[in-house]
Chain A
Amino acid sequence: GDSVTQMEGPVTLSEEAFLTINCTYTATGYPSLFWYVQYPGEGLQLLLKATKADDKGSNKGFEATYRKETTSFHLEKGSVQVSDSAVYFCALNGNAGNMLTFGGGTRLMVKP
Protein backbone atom coordinates (compact mmCIF):
# COMPACT_ATOMS: atom_id res chain seq x y z
CA GLY A 1 0.00 0.00 0.00
CA ASP A 2 0.86 3.67 -0.07
CA SER A 3 3.24 5.08 2.53
CA VAL A 4 4.99 8.34 3.40
CA THR A 5 8.19 8.67 5.38
CA GLN A 6 9.40 11.98 6.72
CA MET A 7 12.29 12.90 8.94
CA GLU A 8 11.66 12.69 12.64
CA GLY A 9 11.88 15.82 14.68
CA PRO A 10 12.06 17.96 16.44
CA VAL A 11 14.03 20.18 14.12
CA THR A 12 15.39 23.19 15.98
CA LEU A 13 16.67 26.17 14.01
CA SER A 14 17.61 29.75 14.65
CA GLU A 15 15.63 32.49 12.97
CA GLU A 16 16.70 33.12 9.34
CA ALA A 17 18.23 29.65 8.99
CA PHE A 18 17.59 27.44 5.96
CA LEU A 19 15.02 24.69 6.40
CA THR A 20 14.79 21.28 4.77
CA ILE A 21 12.32 18.61 5.88
CA ASN A 22 12.75 15.39 3.94
CA CYS A 23 9.79 13.41 2.67
CA THR A 24 9.79 10.25 0.56
CA TYR A 25 6.85 8.18 -0.55
CA THR A 26 5.82 4.80 -1.90
CA ALA A 27 2.77 4.66 -4.12
CA THR A 28 1.49 3.09 -7.29
CA GLY A 29 0.61 5.30 -10.21
CA TYR A 30 0.81 9.07 -9.98
CA PRO A 31 -0.25 10.39 -6.59
CA SER A 32 -0.74 14.03 -5.68
CA LEU A 33 1.61 15.24 -2.96
CA PHE A 34 0.92 17.72 -0.17
CA TRP A 35 2.47 19.49 2.76
CA TYR A 36 0.12 20.42 5.61
CA VAL A 37 1.07 22.57 8.58
CA GLN A 38 -0.44 22.39 12.06
CA TYR A 39 0.18 25.31 14.39
CA PRO A 40 -0.18 24.68 18.14
CA GLY A 41 -3.79 24.10 19.15
CA GLU A 42 -5.09 24.32 15.60
CA GLY A 43 -6.25 22.10 12.75
CA LEU A 44 -4.36 21.25 9.58
CA GLN A 45 -3.79 23.91 6.95
CA LEU A 46 -2.78 23.12 3.42
CA LEU A 47 0.66 24.63 2.87
CA LEU A 48 1.37 23.58 -0.70
CA LYS A 49 0.76 20.82 -3.20
CA ALA A 50 2.00 19.29 -6.45
CA THR A 51 -0.03 17.04 -8.69
CA LYS A 52 2.48 15.73 -11.22
CA ALA A 53 6.17 15.01 -11.64
CA ASP A 54 8.48 18.05 -11.67
CA ASP A 55 5.73 20.35 -10.39
CA LYS A 56 6.90 22.79 -7.76
CA GLY A 57 4.46 23.82 -5.06
CA SER A 58 5.10 27.05 -3.20
CA ASN A 59 3.45 29.20 -0.55
CA LYS A 60 4.57 31.64 2.17
CA GLY A 61 8.22 31.17 1.16
CA PHE A 62 8.03 27.37 1.38
CA GLU A 63 8.73 25.23 -1.68
CA ALA A 64 8.67 21.55 -2.56
CA THR A 65 9.30 19.80 -5.89
CA TYR A 66 7.64 16.54 -6.92
CA ARG A 67 10.56 14.26 -7.82
CA LYS A 68 9.29 11.02 -9.28
CA GLU A 69 12.74 9.58 -9.94
CA THR A 70 13.62 9.78 -6.25
CA THR A 71 10.01 9.51 -4.98
CA SER A 72 10.58 12.59 -2.87
CA PHE A 73 8.82 15.84 -1.98
CA HIS A 74 11.22 17.67 0.33
CA LEU A 75 10.03 20.90 1.98
CA GLU A 76 12.40 23.90 1.92
CA LYS A 77 12.41 27.48 3.09
CA GLY A 78 15.29 29.87 2.72
CA SER A 79 14.83 31.85 5.92
CA VAL A 80 12.59 30.59 8.72
CA GLN A 81 10.80 32.77 11.24
CA VAL A 82 9.68 32.11 14.79
CA SER A 83 6.12 32.09 13.48
CA ASP A 84 6.96 29.02 11.33
CA SER A 85 7.18 26.90 14.49
CA ALA A 86 4.64 24.14 13.92
CA VAL A 87 4.26 20.49 12.96
CA TYR A 88 4.60 19.76 9.25
CA PHE A 89 2.95 16.74 7.65
CA CYS A 90 3.82 15.34 4.24
CA ALA A 91 0.94 13.47 2.62
CA LEU A 92 -0.13 11.83 -0.61
CA ASN A 93 -3.49 11.29 -2.23
CA GLY A 94 -3.31 8.15 -4.29
CA ASN A 95 -5.23 6.76 -7.19
CA ALA A 96 -8.45 6.40 -5.21
CA GLY A 97 -8.43 10.16 -4.91
CA ASN A 98 -10.28 10.44 -1.64
CA MET A 99 -7.85 9.25 1.01
CA LEU A 100 -4.73 10.89 2.38
CA THR A 101 -1.74 8.89 3.53
CA PHE A 102 0.26 10.93 6.05
CA GLY A 103 3.84 10.85 7.17
CA GLY A 104 4.50 10.88 10.89
CA GLY A 105 4.92 14.65 11.09
CA THR A 106 7.97 16.78 11.84
CA ARG A 107 7.95 19.36 14.60
CA LEU A 108 9.85 22.52 13.75
CA MET A 109 10.98 24.87 16.50
CA VAL A 110 12.49 28.21 15.48
CA LYS A 111 14.32 30.20 18.13
CA PRO A 112 14.85 33.96 17.99
Chain B
Amino acid sequence: EAQVTQNPRYLITVTGKKLTVTCSQNMNHEYMSWYRQDPGLGLRQIYYSMNVEVTDKGDVPEGYKVSRKEKRNFPLILESPSPNQTSLYFCATRSPPGRGLITYEQYFGPGTRLTVT
Protein backbone atom coordinates (compact mmCIF):
# COMPACT_ATOMS: atom_id res chain seq x y z
CA GLU B 1 0.00 0.00 0.00
CA ALA B 2 1.30 3.43 -0.98
CA GLN B 3 2.15 5.30 2.18
CA VAL B 4 3.71 8.43 3.61
CA THR B 5 4.40 8.02 7.30
CA GLN B 6 5.37 10.63 9.84
CA ASN B 7 6.59 10.24 13.39
CA PRO B 8 5.72 11.32 15.91
CA ARG B 9 2.08 12.17 15.26
CA TYR B 10 1.87 14.36 18.36
CA LEU B 11 4.65 16.06 20.29
CA ILE B 12 4.73 18.52 23.15
CA THR B 13 8.18 19.87 23.87
CA VAL B 14 9.96 22.81 25.46
CA THR B 15 11.75 25.75 23.90
CA GLY B 16 15.28 24.98 22.77
CA LYS B 17 15.15 21.20 22.89
CA LYS B 18 16.21 19.83 19.51
CA LEU B 19 13.74 17.55 17.80
CA THR B 20 13.35 15.64 14.56
CA VAL B 21 10.14 14.73 12.78
CA THR B 22 10.66 11.81 10.46
CA CYS B 23 8.99 11.29 7.10
CA SER B 24 9.20 8.11 5.09
CA GLN B 25 7.60 7.03 1.82
CA ASN B 26 7.43 3.68 0.09
CA MET B 27 6.55 4.89 -3.40
CA ASN B 28 10.05 5.69 -4.70
CA HIS B 29 9.03 9.29 -5.31
CA GLU B 30 11.77 11.78 -6.04
CA TYR B 31 9.99 14.91 -4.87
CA MET B 32 9.31 15.38 -1.15
CA SER B 33 8.36 18.45 0.82
CA TRP B 34 7.41 19.74 4.24
CA TYR B 35 4.52 22.09 5.00
CA ARG B 36 3.19 23.71 8.10
CA GLN B 37 -0.47 24.56 8.49
CA ASP B 38 -1.68 27.34 10.77
CA PRO B 39 -5.19 28.77 11.22
CA GLY B 40 -5.79 31.66 8.86
CA LEU B 41 -2.51 31.11 7.05
CA GLY B 42 -3.16 27.87 5.20
CA LEU B 43 -0.45 25.48 4.10
CA ARG B 44 3.00 26.99 3.74
CA GLN B 45 6.00 25.16 2.37
CA ILE B 46 9.05 24.90 4.61
CA TYR B 47 11.54 22.94 2.52
CA TYR B 48 11.41 20.67 -0.49
CA SER B 49 13.66 18.15 -2.16
CA MET B 50 13.73 17.28 -5.83
CA ASN B 51 15.89 14.23 -5.26
CA VAL B 52 18.53 12.70 -3.02
CA GLU B 53 21.00 15.31 -1.78
CA VAL B 54 18.99 18.10 -3.45
CA THR B 55 17.06 20.32 -1.05
CA ASP B 56 15.87 23.89 -1.21
CA LYS B 57 14.03 26.43 0.88
CA GLY B 58 10.33 26.96 0.61
CA ASP B 59 8.40 29.98 1.84
CA VAL B 60 9.07 29.67 5.59
CA PRO B 61 12.41 27.88 6.14
CA GLU B 62 13.66 29.88 9.15
CA GLY B 63 14.27 27.71 12.18
CA TYR B 64 14.17 24.43 10.25
CA LYS B 65 16.66 22.11 8.61
CA VAL B 66 16.18 19.07 6.40
CA SER B 67 18.30 16.33 4.91
CA ARG B 68 17.77 13.90 2.06
CA LYS B 69 20.40 11.21 2.29
CA GLU B 70 18.19 8.55 0.76
CA LYS B 71 15.15 8.70 -1.45
CA ARG B 72 12.62 7.31 1.00
CA ASN B 73 13.36 9.57 3.99
CA PHE B 74 13.10 13.33 4.46
CA PRO B 75 13.41 14.30 8.14
CA LEU B 76 12.55 17.78 9.41
CA ILE B 77 14.88 19.06 12.12
CA LEU B 78 14.18 21.84 14.59
CA GLU B 79 17.54 22.64 16.19
CA SER B 80 16.12 25.03 18.78
CA PRO B 81 12.31 25.00 18.70
CA SER B 82 10.41 28.10 19.70
CA PRO B 83 6.71 28.62 20.52
CA ASN B 84 6.06 30.17 17.10
CA GLN B 85 6.85 26.78 15.60
CA THR B 86 3.79 25.32 17.27
CA SER B 87 1.86 24.06 14.27
CA LEU B 88 0.53 21.11 12.30
CA TYR B 89 3.22 19.72 10.01
CA PHE B 90 2.68 17.70 6.86
CA CYS B 91 5.18 15.79 4.82
CA ALA B 92 4.22 15.27 1.20
CA THR B 93 5.56 13.34 -1.76
CA ARG B 94 4.75 13.65 -5.41
CA SER B 95 4.47 10.96 -8.00
CA PRO B 96 6.20 11.56 -11.30
CA PRO B 97 3.90 12.48 -14.18
CA GLY B 98 2.23 9.50 -15.74
CA ARG B 99 2.26 8.87 -19.43
CA GLY B 100 0.37 11.63 -21.18
CA LEU B 101 0.00 13.63 -17.99
CA ILE B 102 1.66 16.89 -17.26
CA THR B 103 1.57 16.27 -13.57
CA TYR B 104 0.62 13.85 -10.84
CA GLU B 105 -0.87 13.45 -7.46
CA GLN B 106 0.61 14.76 -4.26
CA TYR B 107 0.39 12.42 -1.30
CA PHE B 108 0.31 13.84 2.20
CA GLY B 109 1.43 12.16 5.37
CA PRO B 110 -1.00 12.02 8.31
CA GLY B 111 0.42 15.13 9.98
CA THR B 112 2.41 15.87 13.13
CA ARG B 113 0.90 18.20 15.68
CA LEU B 114 3.75 19.97 17.46
CA THR B 115 3.39 22.16 20.53
CA VAL B 116 6.40 24.09 21.81
CA THR B 117 5.98 25.58 25.27
Is this pair of chains taken from one and the same complex?
no
* Residues of A that sit less than 8 Å from B by CB: none
Which residues of B are at the interface with A, using a C-beta cutoff of 8 A? none
